[in-house]
Amino acid sequence: MSITILLVIYVALTLGTICVVGIYSELERRRFGPAHPEDRVFRCAKCGLVYTDDADADRSRCAQCGKLNVPVEF
């Protein structure tokens, strides 16, 4: 085997190992990372009140003025 082939194999194996470790660590982070928040954040378009509601609420009524609002996306 020539030195060029040995260097290509060495670099390919090193990069492959780094990719596998990166993918594995990302999967572990997602598995053990914090869960999504249980509440959604809403901001009233009419009065500006910021409030929370259940995670399954697509629209929520403002407690101050009664306007229906969509959740704030961060």
| % of the chain residues with pLDDT over 70 | 95
- Return the amino acid letter for 25: S
CA distance 28 to 11: 26
pLDDT of residue 36: 67
The DSSP output letter for 39 is E
Is the pTM of the predicted complex or chain greater than 0.85? no
How open is the CA angle 71-36-70, to the nearest 5 degrees? 5
Closest CA to 70 of 47, 49, 38, 45: 45
Q: What value does the mean pLDDT take over residues 32-61?
A: 86
